[in-house]
Amino acid sequence: MRIVTVLKKLSRRWKNPGAMEVGNPYQNLVAVMLSARTRDEQVLRLLPAFWRAFPTPRALSRAATKQIESRINTIGMYRQKAKNLKRMATEVVEKFHGEIPSTMDELVSLVGVGRKTASVVLVASFDTPAIAVDTHVHRMTNRLGWVKTTTPKQTEAALLKLVPRAWYKTVNRVFVKHGRYICIGSPRCWACPVRERCTFKQKNLTAPKNAQEILADIERRERNLERLREQAV
């Protein structure tokens, strides 16, 4: 019940979808692959031109790697990402008849697709319960005292046992946003709606003098992110 209470409260605080929850399964998968170690805003800005150039997995599979690079060279690791995107698209065409697969095992069989990426796609594109664990989810669930783990892989395994299945899809959506804005490295516990349910001992409960400016900036960033997400397809 404590877990569900936290997820309910955070769902009320963070109502927007995940930043990479865009378009059809192909678009969703590409967006998540591009977002690795990259700011969401950077990815969302390049997506409209990317879809015009490569509207389907087949079109992407036929493109030269350099062509793909030229469409994503504003983000980090673009050369490796271009290689992975081409290989992924080729496998989708050859193994799955051009359709993005809808199971965990099939998705992680694709080049460049790990469990975190697959989990986001399963939730956003196929309405399949899954828990995508990134650094935010890993950090927050340890701070909350839900798990005591040292790696995201361990955290995912633990959460799949702890969190009621009906709430799997909520975890990543709310924790990524909360971890980006509030439960940061030096946490803003003074602005956290679930601090009373958190076991983190070094809580920062004193709001700074510019607290209202910080909160206003968070809202501005969220509005901008949602605008870019809506324009991405």
How many other CB atoms are found less than 10 A from the CB of residue 94?
10
In angstroms, what CA-CA distances link 80 with 61, 67, 193, 197? 15, 13, 39, 41
Phi, psi (degrees; rounded to nearest 5) at 106: -70, -40
Evaluate whether 139 touches 179 at the Cβ level (below 8 Å): yes
How many other CB atoms are found less than 10 A from the CB of residue 38?
17
Chain position carrying tokens 């956003």: 124
Q: Can you tell me the distance from the alpha carbon of 190 to that of 126, in angstroms, rounded to the nearest whole number?
A: 36
Just list the catalytic residues. Answer: 116, 134
